[in-house]
Structure 1
Amino acid sequence: MAILEVKDLSVSFKQYSSSLKQKNYDVISDLSVTVEEGEIVAVVGASGSGKSLLAHAILGILPNNAYVNGLIKYKGEELTLSRQEALRGNEISLVPQSVNYLDPLMRVGAQVRTSVKNGDKVKVQREVFERYNLKEQVDKMYPFQLSGGMARRTLLSTAMISGAKVIIADEPTPGLDSASVAEALKHFRQLADNGCAVMLITHDIEAALQIADRIAVFYAGTTVEIAPVHNFSGNGENLRHPYTKALWRALPQNDFIPIKGSQPHPDHLPSGCLFAPRCEMATEECSMSRPEMKKVRDGVVRCIHAS
């Protein structure tokens, strides 16, 4: 059973143009993904595909001009705003992309200790700092005294000792040295193996393949494919969606073939399949309506041509 379930999620933002006309921008639409206990689901896709917005929607930390529709469940029950607030930082923990989430007026050691639920808080904090190569004197520092890598490792430390049942890691490794990246990935895998559910949001497909069980591929604010990690191999012949295959073949270690065109802006989404204008398999039928997600082999895909 999925501990975290997102179904048909849509997120739009109300904005005003220079002529003060109001317009809604649909940045996420019909997005669905699940994460089970003991599982790591990696969410990949280009910038602007909705990855970070998904994390913020789950935690209930979107800005006031956001409108959310769809269903988000935790342990089978809907995540209402009040329930999101109660679970945030407790049973559902975020490793944020921005280091600005650190409180600038509080020493970082004290900040990390607020996440410790059981045991000697100082001991737990110092052990996790040691694990991420943060020296003992770092716990007395303020965020402005940290390098970018140190700040990111501090954020990782906070989530790793939170005891949360669900960890959402939003681009947790940029700016880290290779040893810290390896340690973080190893720790995420250990958390999952101990029953935690991990959603790893990343641009780094290679890092995701090292630890993930399934890969969810986002494009222009929606899910286009969710596939088991072993499908990402060879020439991508076991993948289902043309975008996923193109993304796989665009990697330097594969064919290094760029994908023509660019992801559409939320203000200019095509009718029908969102990837159709860039897809070599597109037919007239692809532009008539947006495909539904369907099961194909041991994964799911949003493409009428997938088989």
Structure 2
Amino acid sequence: MSILEVENLSVSFKQYTSGLRQKNHQVISNLSITLKAGKILAVVGASGSGKSLLAHAILGILPDNASISGKMKYAGEELTPDRKMALRGKEIALVPQSVNYLDPLMRVGKQVRTAVKSGAAVTAQKMVFKRYRLKPEVENMYPFQLSGGMARRTLLSTAIVSGAKVIIADEPTPGLDPTVMKEALNNFRELADAGCAVMLITHDIESALTIADEIAVFYAGTTVEIAPVNNFSGKGEDLRHPYSKALWRALPQNDFIPIPGSQPHSSALPPGCLFAPRCPLATPECQSNQPEIRELRGGRVRCIHAT
């Protein structure tokens, strides 16, 4: 069952150039994803592909100079700005990329307890700290007293105790040792198995494959493919989009073949298919219009050449 649906989302930012001329930079275009109860969707792609911006758009925490179009629904109803504010931190929880989201003036134990919506908050906080190997004395510390790994575990703890139906984890594992990282990923799997919808934003495809149900591949601010995890195997023969295949084969554990060229900046996006300038399959038709995303072989793809 779908809990959160994003359809044809576009995000642009107003900027002023020399002479106080206003210019819009479109950083996300026609992006679509669906989060389902009991499932984990991993979102992968290069830096600047729109992964974190999608999370911020869902939560309604984009800066004031952002403009949004497209449709977002939560539990079948439109996700308006007021509804985003009402649901944020309650039914939709964020595990942010930056540890700066912690309140520098509040002890971390109290911060985690404020996220508990039912039951004994102190008990829940102590249990989750024990799970993440945070010693009892940590609850009385301030964020500046924590190491990077401890701060990330505190952020994870906040999401775990929130009881949210949707968990958005934005690069939640950097700075964690392998044991804690594996446990954190398994906790997301447990949350999904208990009925949550989880969106895991990550650069680490290999880790995502251990817990995710589907992988959404982003490129230059749009979704180019959404595929079941078992498609990411071998030489990527089961993948649909040329970029997904190239990204898979570029991994060190695969062929380690670099992708020629670079992802375009939002201020210099090419016409038509955004991957066309780097794509070996590109034809003149690819340069006229951005392809629509379509169903194909149990997944979704934005490419007219995909078969």
* CA deviation vs aligned residue, 1:47-84 (integer Å, no higher than 9, x gap): 00000000000000000000000011100001001100
What residue is the counterpart of 2:19 in the other structure?
19
Task: Give the residue type in structure 1 aligned to 2:278.
Answer: R
Question: Please, which moves more after superposition, 180-189 or 115-124?
Answer: 115-124
1:150 equivalent in structure 2: 150
User: Which whole-Å deviations, capped at 9, do the CAs of 1:268-291 have from their partners, x for residues lacking one?
Assistant: 100110000000111111101110
Which residue identity does 2:3 align to in structure 1? I
User: Post-superposition shift, 1:106?
Assistant: 0.2
3-state SS of 2:223 partner: strand
Which residue identity lines up with residue 225 of structure 2 in the other structure?
E
Match of 2:102 in 1: 102
User: What residue number does 1:263 align with?
Assistant: 263
State the shift of 1:18 in Å. Answer: 3.2
Rounded to whole Å, the distance in 2 between the matches of 1:212 and 1:197 is: 11
Q: Distance in 1 between matches of 2:286 and 2:116?
A: 51
Q: 1:7-31: CA deviations, max 9, x gaps? A: 0000000001133211000000000
- Give distance in 2, aligned partners of 1:86 and 1:118: 17
Q: Distance in 2 between matches of 1:117 and 1:35?
A: 23
Instruction: Provide the rounded CA distance (Å) in 2 between the counterparts of 1:13 and 1:248.
Output: 31
Distance 1:62 1:14 in 2: 12
Partner of 1:64: 64
Aligned-residue offset at 1:121: 1.1
> 1:203 is matched with which residue?
203
* Cα distance in 1, alignment partners of residues 272 and 133 from structure 2: 49
Query: How many Å separate the matches in 2 of 1:110 and 1:233?
Result: 44
**Structure 2 Cα separation of the partners of residues 88 and 56 of structure 1:** 11
Q: Aligned letter for 2:116?
A: V
Q: State the AA in 2 paired with 1:22.
A: Q
Could you tell me which residue of structure 1 aligns to residue 289 of structure 2?
289
Q: Given the alignment of the two structures, is residue 243 of structure 1 paired with residue 243 of structure 2, yes or no? A: yes
Q: Aligned equivalents of 1:20 and 1:206: distance in 2?
A: 46
List 4+ stretches of structure 1 deviating above 4 A: none
2:52 paired residue number:
52
| CA distance in structure 2 between the partners assigned to 1:180 and 1:278 by the alignment | 38
1:35 aligned partner: 35
CA distance in 1, matches of 2:139, 2:18: 47
Which residue identity does 2:118 align to in structure 1?
A: N
Structure-1 separation of matches of 2:117 and 2:66: 32
Amino acid at match of 1:202: T
Question: Residues 88-99 of structure 1 correspond to what in structure 2 (within 5 A)?
Answer: 88-99=88-99
Query: Which residue in 2 is equivalent to 1:3?
Result: 3
- 1:300 is matched with 300
Deviation for aligned residue 1:206: 0.5
TM-score (norm 2): 0.99
1:223 aligned counterpart, secondary structure: strand
Match of 1:179 in 2: 179
- What code does the residue aligned with 2:192 have? A
State the distance in 2 between where 1:279 and 1:131 align.
46
SS at match of 1:19: helix
- The aligned amino acid for 1:104 is P
Distance 1:161 1:25 in 2: 38
Give the Cα–Cα distance (whole angstroms) in 1 for the partners of residues 170 and 258 of structure 2: 25
Structure 2 residue aligned with 1:167: 167
Q: Deviations for 1:85-107, whole angstroms, at most 9, x for unmatched residues?
A: 00000000000000000000000
**What residue number does 2:221 align with?**
221
- Aligned residue type for 2:249: R
**One-letter code aligned to 1:253:** Q
* Secondary structure of 2:285's aligned partner: helix
Cα distance in 2 for partners of 1:59, 1:125 equals: 24
1:272 is aligned to 272
C-alpha distance in structure 1 between counterparts of 2:19 and 2:204, whole Å: 40
Structure 1 unaligned regions, length at least 5: none
For residues 77 and 123 of structure 1, what CA distance do their matches in structure 2 show? 34
- What displacement does 1:118 show? 1.9
Residue aligned with 1:292, SS:
coil
Deviations 1:125-150 (A, max 9, x none): 01100111110000000001011111
Gaps of 5+ in 2: none
**2:121 counterpart residue number:** 121
